[in-house]
Amino acid sequence: MTPLVIGFAGIGALLFLLALRVPIAVALGAVSLIGIGFIRGWDAVYGAARSMPYAFVAKWELSAVPMFLLMGSIAYYSGLTTSLFRAMRLWFSRLPGGLAVATNFGCAGFAAASGSSMATAASMGRLTIPEMRRYGYDPGLATGVVAAAGTLGSLIPPSIMLIIFGMMTETSIGKLFIAGIFPGILTALAYAVMIIARCTWRPELAPPVTETVTWKERFQVLAEIWQLPILILIVIVSLYTGIATTTEAAAVGALAAFVMAAMNRTLTFDVMGSSVLEALKSTSMILFIWFGAIFFSRFLTFAGLPQYMAGLAEAMAFSPLLLLLFVATIYLILGMFLDPLGLMLLTVPIFLPFFEASGYDKIWMGIMVVKFIEIGLITPPVRLNAFVVKGIVGDSISLGTIFKGLIWFIAAEIVVVLLLIMFPDIVMALPNRM
């Protein structure tokens, strides 16, 4: 067999293993090393297995991942995020569907601190779904908003997904972070507008909250959450102004979270231990999958697939819209059985030649890829965030009800994607001014 045939056979074998629910890191590593052995010989396999993991881990930029994970863990375990929903509730509860709107913006704030979609859905779901159900909110709306708004963790900086895309494509991670700000805000606003419109049209979905809230109470509660936006601003401003690199900004963010927790007198030994352990577990999981991904990328290079795909893209003369439709379709299909991290690590090496041959700006394309993965978290049939929410509510709300509640949020996502395509400056305005 030619190297190219071995490459395509390897992709087929990988998809087969993933369909059998083999862990993605194991599937990637096994297929890649066997494929390299067939193409270059087993001495090359030994050399790659011995040198590539160390060469990858030794990258200075990679230290941003555990630092941002540590920052999010400290913010969660020390209680920096606990008053977030209460503040949003006091400010938005008088709107139609106000508690759902409050949940939406609360998830956006939590996502900015944690950088994880599923962590946002899990943490905010435990807090907000019982509150909305207590006020008689439709179960589909109450669960759907948590599952959908949780996906904002993939886009709003600091985002682990954007760090991974930046390292895989050698794109500025700082510019990717800044580029994600407006699309993330736009998505949160689109969700809010949709919720208000639905609840105005059908008031029975969200009975109005009758409690009286004074402006004094609204401003007082802001004093309880001021540290969280300051924490995020420290990271974003340091990146935007060029004061710090991504790694330095991550370290400063983690240090700031420690200082804020100490100021609040919540930095106990239990909080420190839980935060560090959570960051270590998450980092280990990411690295294990990433090792498989770098072997897979090397296997594709040896097979000649990147060059073949680039030539195919030129020969097919994909129009920009057709390429986007093709990429979006592939992400939605693979999203049926892959987690977001594994999906990005698997697909970016394959799609990168298409992006480059079509002349796309890698920063804009990075945001679009993360957006497609974000949508995949709430589209059928798997909807990972829906399963996270289902785990929270147990048997009290059916999975079908959660799925129905997500339909409107998918519609809002389609509108956001169309706006990003028609007006690319939504993505590029801030990074172009850095």
- Chain segment 316-338, per-residue pLDDT in tens: 656 767 778 878 887 777 765 56
Tokens of 184: 């993330």
Average pLDDT rounded to a whole number, residues 83-93: 72
Question: Percentage of the chain surpassing pLDDT 90?
Answer: 6
How many C-beta atoms surround the C-beta of residue 410 within 10 A?
15
Kindly list the distances between the CA atom of residue 383 and the CA atoms of 117, 379, 380, in Å, as whole numbers in the listed order.
12, 5, 6
pLDDT at 43: 81
Kindly list the distances between the CA atom of residue 31 and the CA atoms of 319, 398, 430, in Å, as whole numbers in the listed order.
33, 38, 40
Confidence of residue 243 (pLDDT cuts 50, 70, 90): confident
5-19, 275-289, 312-326: least confidently modelled range: 312-326
pLDDT at 8: 83
Find all residues with CB under 8 Å of 385, minimum gap 6, and list them. Answer: 117, 118, 121, 147, 148, 150, 151, 377, 378
pLDDT at 314: 60
Most confident by average pLDDT, 59-63, 384-388, 423-427: 423-427
Find all residues with CB under 8 Å of 262, minimum gap 6, and list them. Answer: none
Most confident by average pLDDT, 135-149, 211-225, 307-321: 135-149
203-207, 275-279, 392-396: least confidently modelled range: 392-396
Higher-pLDDT residue of 418 and 359 is 418
pLDDT at 382: 53
Q: What is the mean pLDDT of the chain?
A: 79
Residue range 349-396, pLDDT digits in tens: 778 777 777 778 889 989 998 888 888 777 765 556 677 777 777 777
Average pLDDT rounded to a whole number, residues 144-161: 80
pLDDT at 196 over 80: yes
pLDDT at 263 over 60: yes
User: What is the rounded distance in angstroms from the CA atom of residue 382 to the CA atom of residue 376?
Assistant: 9
For residue 80, which of 252, 285, 261 has the smallest C-alpha distance? 261
Most confident by average pLDDT, 208-212, 261-265, 366-370, 398-402: 366-370
Chain centroid to Cα 216, Å, comes to: 36
pLDDT at 190 over 90: yes
The answer to whether 141 and 182 have CB atoms below 8 angstroms apart is: no
32-41, 108-117, 394-403: least confidently modelled range: 108-117
Average pLDDT rounded to a whole number, residues 38-42: 85
Confidence of residue 205 (pLDDT cuts 50, 70, 90): confident
Tokens of 154: 């993939």
14-23, 108-117, 122-131, 412-421: least confidently modelled range: 108-117
The answer to whether 80 and 113 have CB atoms below 8 angstroms apart is: yes
Confidence of residue 51 (pLDDT cuts 50, 70, 90): confident
Average pLDDT rounded to a whole number, residues 249-274: 85
Average pLDDT rounded to a whole number, residues 44-66: 76
DSSP 8-state code for residue 158: S
- 216 class by beta-carbon count within 10 Å (0-12 exposed, 13-18 middle, 19+ buried): exposed
Tokens of 156: 């709003």
Average pLDDT rounded to a whole number, residues 111-135: 72
Question: Percentage of the chain surpassing pLDDT 70?
Answer: 87
